[in-house]
């Protein structure tokens, strides 16, 4: 047991775990406080494992040359990210995306932190912000009520919130592969990364109407006016935006040749492998707030899923975040109380990788500060710097909403580049600038 700590981290999700790892690797003593395992649980988690993945099992694209989140993956790897190390151990087939077996992933993160002599994991609920030492609050979107009230009192700002919906998971052996088939869009990947269930126009129209008519979860009074995050929209909400909205979104048939017809279907439901054994497959883009009975009834109308058995049905939980652009400085410190840093989704970033990346930066910055140094923020030309800039001042505070990393957040290119070469030019610049930044930090240390 560690008798004294340099920093306390509240929250054992991806951001908190990454921050703890970065601090410990730099010789700092860390107390990691996690509510789950102490008798408390959130509405969305199912285990007390550290870094449990609640929604999808995908870290999205792993293409570091043409995709912003893929670039963020690589930048985190360059900085010794624990989350990226664990993702590699738990990796499952997903085409050009990085997806993981959630249990293996959580177990890997937990094992690394438990075995680090500079980290003590304490299963406890923290009801107020501690004083007297550096603190990183990484409690995520499901921050417990008492701590949330303590944060509100400290920041002087009301919380903002949005809903996050969870997609169903199907047992593989209940999928009818005489109807469905394996393929990635445009035949990318290994060929068996996705299972595709085709719909003709009549089936699609009936399914669309079923979504509109389905029985949904009722909101509590305080949830009624909470907006959704556009990147995790419940499928029935997408359906309400128009008949073809789904066909241009998660049910897009483009690039998926049905081997039985040689043609594209009118619409396609895709399932992605969710565990290493390939026994569980999640329904891509099928986040939902339908009641469980309605889900089973409607989802079994999808061709190939008539006899589907579900390991998990969809659900809905509320996410909470602070107004980071006006509350935090470029070091992720609360301007009114600089010993407090925030990391992860509570800052208003969105996505597993983005949350982990903010935890990584919070850990590096806190370690430097304890050592009597100040880390210059990563350049805005990098994925890390672009993400940091967005949540600490570049976004408009009045309209601040959760955001995934994207090239629109990066500093623009100095020279004119053809549209087809723009992404490659931005990632190439980012790789160079991050390497220079890393070298500069080593010299300063």
Cα-based distances in Å from 346 to 78, 328, 339, 362, 371:
25, 12, 17, 13, 26
For residue 89, give the H/E element and its range.
Answer: helix 82-89
44 close to 355: Cβ distance less than 8 angstroms: no
Pairing of strands 194-199, 181-182: antiparallel
The reported pLDDT for the residue numbered 302 is: 98
Rounded to 5°, the CA angle 381-401-15 comes to 65
The reported pLDDT for the residue numbered 400 is: 76
- Residues of the chain under the 70 pLDDT cut: 1, 39, 41-46, 157-164, 189-191, 219-226, 229-231, 317, 398-399, 445
The reported pLDDT for the residue numbered 159 is: 59
The reported pLDDT for the residue numbered 220 is: 58
The reported pLDDT for the residue numbered 222 is: 46
Q: Is 11 flagged in the annotation as binding?
A: yes
Residues 99, 348, 73, 196, Cα dihedral to 10°: 30
The reported pLDDT for the residue numbered 278 is: 87
Look at the domain 7-165+320-444 and name its fold.
FAD/NAD(P)-binding domain (3.50.50)
Locate the domains of the chain by residue range. 7-165+320-444, 168-313
Q: Is 12 flagged in the annotation as binding?
A: yes
Q: Is 15 flagged in the annotation as binding?
A: yes
The reported pLDDT for the residue numbered 225 is: 64
Give the strand order in the sheet containing 280-283. Answer: 181-182, 194-199, 267-273, 280-283, 169-171, 310-312
164 close to 321: Cβ distance less than 8 angstroms: no
The reported pLDDT for the residue numbered 190 is: 67
The reported pLDDT for the residue numbered 114 is: 97
Q: Is 343 flagged in the annotation as binding?
A: no
160 close to 321: Cβ distance less than 8 angstroms: yes
382 close to 434: Cβ distance less than 8 angstroms: yes
| CATH architecture entry for 168-313 | Beta Barrel (2.40)
Cα-based distances in Å from 193 to 69, 284, 371, 426:
19, 12, 46, 29
Q: Is 13 flagged in the annotation as binding?
A: yes
How far apart (Å, rounded) are the C-alpha atoms in residues 364 and 15?
12
For residue 201, give the H/E element and its range.
Answer: helix 201-213
36 close to 75: Cβ distance less than 8 angstroms: no
396 close to 325: Cβ distance less than 8 angstroms: yes
Q: Which pTM value belongs to this model?
A: 0.80
Q: Is 285 flagged in the annotation as binding?
A: no
How far out from the chain centre does Cα 138 lie? 14
298 phi/psi in degrees, rounded to 5: -75, -40
């Amino acid at each position: 047991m560690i008798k004294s700590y340099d920093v306390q981290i509240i929250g054992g999700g991806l951001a908190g775990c990454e921050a703890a790892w970065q601090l410990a690797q730099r010789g700092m003593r860390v107390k990691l406080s996690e509510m789950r395992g102490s008798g408390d649980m959130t509405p969305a988690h199912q285990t007390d494992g550290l870094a449990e993945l609640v929604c999808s099992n995908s870290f999205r694209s792993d293409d570091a040359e043409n995709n912003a989140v893929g670039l963020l993956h690589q930048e985190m790897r360059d900085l010794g990210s624990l989350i990226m190390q664990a993702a590699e151990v738990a990796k499952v087939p997903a085409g050009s995306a990085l997806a993981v077996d959630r249990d293996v992933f959580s177990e890997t993160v937990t094992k690394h932190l438990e075995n680090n002599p500079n980290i003590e994991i304490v299963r406890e609920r923290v009801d107020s912000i501690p004083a007297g030492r550096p603190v990183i609050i990484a409690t995520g979107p499901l921050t417990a009520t008492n701590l949330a009230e303590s944060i509100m009192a400290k920041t002087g700002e009301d919380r903002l919130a949005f809903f996050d919906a969870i997609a169903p998971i199907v047992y593989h052996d209940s999928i009818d592969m005489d109807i469905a088939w394996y393929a990635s869009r445009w035949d990318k990947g290994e060929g068996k990364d996705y299972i595709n269930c085709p719909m003709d126009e009549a089936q699609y129209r009936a399914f669309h109407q079923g979504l509109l008519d389905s029985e949904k979860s009722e909101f509590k009074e305080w949830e009624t006016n909470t907006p959704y995050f556009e990147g995790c929209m419940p499928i029935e909400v997408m359906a309400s935006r128009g008949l073809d909205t789904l066909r241009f979104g998660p049910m897009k048939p483009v690039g998926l040749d049905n081997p039985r017809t040689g043609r594209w279907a009118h619409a396609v439901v895709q399932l992605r492998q969710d565990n290493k054994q390939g026994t569980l497959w999640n329904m891509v883009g099928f986040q939902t707030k339908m009641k469980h009975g309605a889900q089973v009834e409607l989802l079994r109308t999808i061709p190939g899923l008539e006899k589907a058995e579900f390991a998990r049905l969809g659900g809905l939980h509320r996410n909470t975040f602070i107004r980071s652009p006006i509350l935090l400085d470029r070091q992720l410190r609360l301007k009114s109380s600089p010993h407090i840093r925030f990391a992860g989704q509570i800052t208003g970033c969105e996505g597993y990788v983005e949350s982990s990346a903010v935890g990584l930066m919070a850990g590096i910055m806190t370690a430097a500060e304890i050592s009597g140094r100040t880390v210059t923020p990563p350049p805005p030309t990098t994925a890390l710097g672009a993400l940091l800039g967005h949540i600490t001042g570049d976004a408009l505070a009045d309209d601040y909403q959760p955001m995934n990393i994207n090239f629109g957040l990066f500093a623009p290119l100095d020279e004119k580049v053809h549209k087809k070469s723009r992404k490659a030019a931005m990632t190439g610049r980012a790789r160079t600038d991050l390497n220079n930044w890393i070298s500069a930090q080593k010299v300063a240390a």
